Amino acid sequence: MLSIPSPIPTLLVLALAAVSNAAWAQMPATNPMPDGSHDMYVGLGMVSSPRYQGAKEVERAALPVLQVQWSNGAFVSGMRAGIHLSRTPQLEFGPLLELQARRDAAGEGDEAVGIGEMRINLVALPLAAFSDNRLSGMPVIHSRVQGGGFLNYYLTPEWRFTSSLLYGAGNARKGMKLELGVQRLALQFGAHHRLAFDGGVSVANRRYNRAFFGVGEIDSFSSGNPMFDAGGGLKDARLGVRWNWAWSPSWMLTSNVQATRLLGSARLSPLVERPTNLTVSTAIAYRF
């Protein structure tokens, strides 16, 4: 199986709870290890992100970090969990679960408790009290467990095509989202520094976009937002970079920057204040 030459063989993934697409909360690469063993990272950091998809207001929070991978292929990465089933070096695939964070008038993810993605608000303005809060009066979107699968293909040992399909988002549990991306892994500079780059797009069905970006007649009356019937199609495009600084085989500093641009029907929603959002995070992690 493929392995990435590094003092820390598996690239740490930050569990970003600030956005529902789990920015950079991707499944770890297949990492061959002795039977019965595991690879675990735990840490704590900070994240600055929009309070919901398309929000203008920025929220800062403490960020617990967790990633675990077992020798049988099972893994937990933030709010995602799955199993690597492939035995082919260039191919990765398997079932995938993801916890969709709750969204209410205060924003997204404030009450979601998932492995690796518990949020501790450090700056929590009473935004719902302001008349310009576009989520005020909108229905709460409850936490949901989505199910699906992932399929990754290595174009080279450094370049990986990624994809995942998840179903079950929204209160009706009928929202579906397809994520497609390309990653450049483990670009080394110096003895202890690694860079990784990620870009991709998300496609959502109409049920997903209506749940997160639509405004029905009753919602319009209670929130003051104009009615909007969101359609399916391209949801967003993203571009990000991750920097890992390995202080030792056990300790590292990992930082992420990701820009996300809403597209299509999602971008036109009256709930969207700013179609382009930036998420920045940094954390110290320890490997067991």
pLDDT score at 160: 96
Digit-coded pLDDT (tens) for 201-228: 999 999 999 999 999 999 999 999 999 9
DSSP letters, 219-237, are HHHHH-PPPB----EEEEE
Nearest Cα neighbor of 119 from 174, 68, 60 is: 60
- Distance in angstroms (rounded) separating the CA atoms of residues 117 and 111: 10
Residues 6+ apart with CB under 8 A from 8: 244, 246, 249, 252, 287
Digit-coded pLDDT (tens) for 187-206: 998 889 999 999 999 999 99
Mean of pLDDT values over 114-129: 37
- Distance in angstroms (rounded) separating the CA atoms of residues 110 and 121: 8
Instruction: List the structure tokens of 252.
Output: 């590292």
pLDDT band for 186, please (50, 70, 90 cuts). Answer: confident
Digit-coded pLDDT (tens) for 235-254: 999 999 999 999 999 999 99
Least confident residue range of 14-18, 46-50, 245-249, 275-279: 14-18
pLDDT score at 78: 86
Domain spanning 38-287: CATH 2.40.160.40: yes
The yes-or-no verdict on residue 81 having pLDDT over 80 is yes
pTM over 0.75? The answer is yes
Domain boundaries defined on the chain: 38-287
- Distance in angstroms (rounded) separating the CA atoms of residues 16 and 78: 7
- Distance in angstroms (rounded) separating the CA atoms of residues 65 and 116: 5
In one letter, which amino acid is 133? N
The yes-or-no verdict on residue 2 having pLDDT over 60 is no
The yes-or-no verdict on residue 110 having pLDDT over 80 is no
Nearest Cα neighbor of 211 from 238, 236, 232 is: 232
Name which residue leads in pLDDT, 99 or 5: 99
Q: Residue ranges of the alpha helices (H) in the chain?
A: 206-213, 217-223, 264-267
Digit-coded pLDDT (tens) for 131-164: 489 999 999 999 999 999 999 999 999 999 999 9
Cβ count within 10 A of residue 13:
27
Q: State the chain's maximal CA–CA distance in angstroms.
A: 59
Nearest Cα neighbor of 227 from 236, 237, 217 is: 217
Instruction: Give me the numbers of helices (H) and strands (E) for the chain, helices first please.
Output: 3, 15
Mean predicted lDDT score pLDDT of the chain: 84
Chain centroid offset of residue 214 CA:
21
